[in-house]
A and B are shown apart, each in its own frame.
Chain A
């Protein structure tokens, strides 16, 4: 397998030969920051384009197809327009909170983005409590939403933000419990270790029944975390005008828009990493020839392929189902998903202790 740490080590050595260690590290941080921003923007463009085309095909029509071949540079045009729009700050808003909110949301997005393992050796942050860090940091996004709703000085934004806050905090429990179930199986919380351990089979197959239940619960809860799909009441377009980001225009609104799609991507990539093997190719125990062929495909293609597959599943769900009401959303979490997750956790512990997994 191609190991990305070859490139990072080569870069580090060549910088060390030119400047002292401190400056080398600073320059590397800057390079990494620029890379994250570029990748973030590119992925957002691909995801938005993908959503528009996929939803068009579900709705028996063509999506954008005039701007570039098959409409592929449509979103670039959208970005140019968004950058040149006037940023209006309404008069009576709480200026500090109003301006801070989009940046909080983007901050949470970037931090979680930095945890993902794209290839062997290509993680940016690799703690030994990786999953714990991910869950902790994704909570910062809620603050951004609540600040946006409160700071906008608008009754509808406030209602939208309160709904969103209640929803996200509730569903974080389900996300946490399904991750905990998988940690019991995996034995480690470090992302690079998690992927390495799936060399002889993905955890979805290794953990059979409880892993499948955890996967489904994670997908539902992850969908609700991103305010997407059947759970998008906080920004319900046809109900409360535009929810918590009604009063934002121009690039501030652009940040909310990007962060929504990137959160979706991050939820899908975490699902792909923990359940479907991350950048690890599909290996079937016993078929060595097959495994060798699978190894030729580079790791990041596996990773992005799996992540985009899960993104497609979530988009499919969004464009099929109507919305749930807020009390139905909370009922679903507290009365159904949470007890099932707890029982599932006990089941997984039993399986690991008795060794009934593959």
Chain B
């Protein structure tokens, strides 16, 4: 017998108030294409509930958006209510990396190395105009225009800097995305991503 994954719920925020519901519905359709076992599906739901409520960020702030990230952890906005306040500083113990601030050409290999050191399942949130697309520094010769050129991004939070409420909205979108993933059953685990063709020099194509 099969059960279908449903669309995700966030406590006390109605489904209609979220902006980008179509992406999630497409993901659900794609993941349901293989069908899901009833036992594994239920176990999936439990594990995904656990994972979505306990996303520990990596302390990574390069510039101005980092201050808003700190304000998010402070007393007025308090991301501890969601369970996110345990910000680990070692990438091996963190679940998601919130790229707050501009990424320059000199910092890009360091960020990639940090991302590679993280343990699966891991997520990336691009916070602020600079991480989304280069922001006000788009024309500079030393700024990477958007962090999705080097690592795959799950949620984009625009703004310069985004208000803490925007951060929460972005994190709730990430929670919804985690809730519909398949962990145990079926073949497709997450959404399929296209391979980004890399035109720049990496360790592999140097040789």
Contacts and interface: CB of A to CB of B under 8 A. Distances in A.
Q: Do A and B come from one complex?
A: yes
Interface string A43-70: 0000000001000100111111111000
A88 B92 contact: yes
B80 to A, nearest CB: 5
A16 interface: no
A247 interface: yes
Contacts of A65: 81
Chain A contact residues, majority secondary structure: loop
Nearest to B178: A81
Contacts of B29: none
A42 interface: no
A237 interface: yes
B8 to A, nearest CB: 15
B137 interface: no
Given A60-B75, A80-B47, A74 B90 contact: no
A21 interface: no
Interface string A82-97: 0011111000000000
A346 interface: no
Interface in B31-72: 46-47, 49-51, 53-55
Contact of B93 (A56, A66, A80, A249): A249
Contacts of A242: 88-90, 93
A63 B81 contact: yes
Interface in B110-150: 119-121
A52 B92 contact: no
Contacts of A247: 90, 92
B183 interface: yes
Nearest to A156: B90
A248 B75 contact: no
A13 interface: no
B83 interface: yes
B169 interface: no
B92 A81 contact: no
Contacts of A246: 90, 92
A61 B80 contact: yes
A228 to B, nearest CB: 16
B11 A80 contact: no
Contacts of A249: 92-93, 119
Interface residues of B, number: 28
Given A74-B54, A241-B89, A250-B119, A80 B49 contact: yes
B51 A84 contact: yes
A77 interface: yes
Contacts of B83: 64, 66-67, 71, 74, 77-78
A38 interface: no
B76 to A, nearest CB: 8
Contact of B54 (A56, A81, A88): A81
A80 B83 CA distance: 13
A287 to B, nearest CB: 45
B78 interface: yes
A76 interface: yes
B31 to A, nearest CB: 17
A61 B54 contact: no
Contacts of A87: 119
B15 interface: no
A52 B56 CA distance: 14
Interface string A242-270: 10011111100100000000000000000
Contact of A241 (B46, B74, B76, B90): B90
A247 B89 CA distance: 11
9 contacts: A56-B80, A61-B75, A63-B80, A63-B85, A71-B81, A77-B83, A81-B55, A86-B119, A246-B90
Interface of A: 52, 56, 59-67, 71, 74, 76-81, 84-88, 237-238, 241-242, 245-250, 253
Given A78-B83, A84-B47, 10 more contacts: A52-B85, A74-B83, A77-B50, A77-B83, A81-B51, A81-B55, A84-B121, A86-B121, A246-B92, A249-B92
Interface of B: 11, 46-47, 49-51, 53-55, 74-76, 78, 80-83, 85, 88-90, 92-93, 95, 119-121, 183
